[in-house]
Amino acid sequence: MNNLLTQIAFCIEKGKADLNSPYPPVLKGENGASELTKEAIDSGISADQILKQGLMPGMNRIGERFSKGEAFIPDLLMSARAMNAAMEHLQPHFDSGDIQHRGTLILGTVAGDLHEIGKNVVRMVLEGDGWKVLDLGVDVTVERFSETLRDNPDSIIGMSALLTTTMGTMEQSVNQIKQQSPQTQIYVGGAPLTQEFSDKIGADGFFPDPHSFAKHLAAQT
Amino acid sequence: MPQSSREIVTRCLKFDCPERIPRDLWLLPWAEIHEPETVRLLRKEFSSDFATSDYFYPPSKRVKGDPYKAGQFTDEWGCVFRNIQDGIIGEVRDPIIKDISDWKSVTPPYEQLPESTSAAYDKIKRFYDSTDKFVMSNCCPRPWERYQFLRGTESALMDVMIPDEGFKDLIGAIHDFYLKEMEFWAKSEVDALLFMDDWGSQNQLLIHPDIWREQFKPLYREYCDLAHAEGKFVFMHSDGYITDIFEDLIEIGVDAINSQLFCMDIAELGRRFKGRITFWGEIDRQHVLPSPDPEVGRKAVHQVIRHLYDPSGGLIAQFEFGPGAKPDTALAVTREWLSQGYGIDADGTD
């Protein structure tokens, strides 16, 4: 693999966003994902190659370590920050159609629930894996999920809940969307949830960490 | 002569053979609003051995609203919470420290602490003398949670990775305030001081254990030292999977820990830590108490007893009746604790 791409992947895995970023301390004063991505584009490497051989391997590696318990949420957040810094240079290529997203994920925390750290981590990991994520935020009503699905009919949906009281809301939301659009895949996540609950409410799956979710989706595309 | 609640809890903490397992029941305002009859029964049947001192700081001018009402609430640090459900606390949606370099703009609420402590101590002593229950301080330092309220959770989790860029300054300012609070309460007539911070996600620590040890363990050690110097016990609450820091909590002197036992391997906790720290509950709030099947609650009590009970002490029968909990299951849990609370043989089956 091109050395620049290897370095981009390394910076993303380690959370080195740009030259000025003090994190990680061992890379202080060195170029980060932002500068290296720009350099890669300037040297003629295609945006698609940068995404698939630079950004995605970096996020995959940190996600893998997280799912094994070897990395922690702050590590993921630092990697996501580095990925966003790189993504700024790739965005025009997404806009122009040079590179395509794997697909679109509509994401939100269900109505009655204001928690979002878990949802945000899922967003970051999936964006790093090439997905376009429409993050609807927290306290999202089923109507908002449905409206967004109407505007983006081929999307899949990710719903999050942290409170046991909002698991009921999640069930209603899944039922309503499945009635309107049976083919739409809906995945659920959140601390109190289980695969058993996902099966019970008719969702298409539960994933205990963002990386296993990303792997599942990647296998389907 | 039967032991008083205070004696039972004290003996439990000292592993000095209390006559029964101490009891503690947590009731969120949600429970009073939505399940008043269950609350009445729980209080009647499961009388707590604990009381919280009735001394409150003077009201802060910064506080606006009610933390347990839907709407907006501003706390004594100026953090603004949004709440969409009566009976539970809300979430900070717009942290006041957007840039960590602005950490100096935080003003801890020192104005709340009593200028003259003698009147406050008199009131605290009157309460203490009026009850035979085990009395907890009415303060709860939470440096990490406060940091998140001020910075937002995501920023806080990233700040901790680059501690020299402002994190140490802000957490230091927070900690200094909490030390003052702890000093005040440590010299008062209470049995124990309490602090908290949620350190676990569902299956791991929120941050790397080494970073926790470097940045947070010293703060908690200071709270413990301060309390112990005045002869007070130390209680801590921390949600999530925290097995990796149990050993540290024992080392710094936490006497009792309230944690989400069911996020962890209870048998492992028993094997490694039973007899070295008191398990202050709990019964699972995510699956057990929300279960409509009371038998699930009874089995959970048996599981805790089987792995964590010892006749010398170290176990408090505690649980929280809050959002999502089913009344019949909560009552089954209390009745199981009551039926098992005396002279347990620890071979209870799961």
Please tell me the distance in Å from B243's CA to the nearest CA on chain A: 13
Q: What is the pTM of this model?
A: 0.93
pLDDT in the model for residue B59 = 82
Specify whether the CB–CB gap between A141 and A155 falls below 8 A: no
> Taking all residues of chain A, what is their mean pLDDT, rounded to a whole number?
94
DSSP string, B180-215: HHHHHHHTSS-SEEEEE---B-SSSBSS-HHHHHHH
CB-neighbour burial class of residue A64 (10 A; exposed 0-12, middle 13-18, buried 19+): middle
Touching A: B residues 292-321, CB under 8 Å: none
pLDDT in the model for residue B88 = 83
Task: Give me the sign of the Cα torsion angle B104, B106, B108, B109.
Answer: positive
Contacts of A74 in chain B (CB under 8 A): 157-158, 160-161, 206-208, 211
Q: Span A100-113, mean pLDDT?
A: 95
Touching A: B residues 78-97, CB under 8 Å: 82, 84-85, 90-91, 93
Ordered by start, the domain boundaries in chain B are: 5-340
pLDDT in the model for residue A1 = 59
Interface test with B, best of A28, A115, A117, A209 (most B CBs within 10 A): A117
Between B208 and A116, whose confidence is greater?
B208
Please tell me the distance in Å from B147's CA to the nearest CA on chain A: 15
Place of tokens 């979002």: A116
Express as a percent the part of chain A with pLDDT over 70: 100
pLDDT in the model for residue B350 = 40
Touching A: B residues 261-290, CB under 8 Å: 285-287, 290
Among the four given CATH numbers 2.40.50.100, 3.20.20.210, 3.20.20.150, 3.30.1330.200, the one describing domain B5-340? 3.20.20.210
Contacts of B207 in chain A (CB under 8 A): 72-74
Query: Which domains can be identified in chain A, with CATH numbers?
Result: 3-96 (1.10.1240.10), 104-220 (3.40.50.280)
pLDDT in the model for residue A148 = 98
CB contacts < 8 A (A, B): 66
pLDDT, tens digit, for every residue of B24-68?
999 988 899 999 999 999 999 999 999 999 988 888 899 999 999
CB nearest A73 (choices: B85, B201, B323): B201
pLDDT in the model for residue B85 = 83
Place of tokens 């080392």: B251
Q: Span A95-101, mean pLDDT?
A: 91
pLDDT tens for chain B, residues 1 to 350: 899 999 999 999 999 999 999 999 999 888 999 999 999 999 999 999 999 999 888 888 999 999 999 999 999 999 999 998 888 889 998 999 999 999 999 999 999 998 889 999 999 999 999 999 999 999 999 999 999 999 999 999 999 999 998 999 999 999 999 999 999 999 999 999 999 999 999 999 999 999 999 999 999 999 999 999 999 999 999 999 999 999 999 999 999 999 999 999 999 999 999 999 999 999 999 999 999 999 999 999 999 999 999 999 999 999 999 988 999 999 999 999 998 866 454 444 44
pLDDT in the model for residue B346 = 45
Contact criterion met (CB < 8 Å) for B84 and A117: no
CB-neighbour burial class of residue B96 (10 A; exposed 0-12, middle 13-18, buried 19+): middle
A→B interface, C-beta within 8 Å: 15, 22-24, 69, 72-75, 77-78, 81, 112, 114-115, 117, 120, 139, 163-165, 167, 191-192, 194, 208
A104-109 and A156-160: which strand pairing?
Answer: parallel
Can you tell me the distance from the alpha carbon of A123 to that of A121, in angstroms, rounded to the nearest whole number?
Answer: 5
pLDDT in the model for residue B348 = 43
Within B232-315, where are the H helices? 243-252, 266-273, 294-308
pLDDT, tens digit, for every residue of A122-166?
999 999 889 999 999 999 999 999 999 999 999 999 999 988 889
pLDDT in the model for residue B41 = 96
Contacts of A139 in chain B (CB under 8 A): 84
pLDDT, tens digit, for every residue of B308-322?
999 999 999 999 999
Q: Span A79-103, mean pLDDT?
A: 93
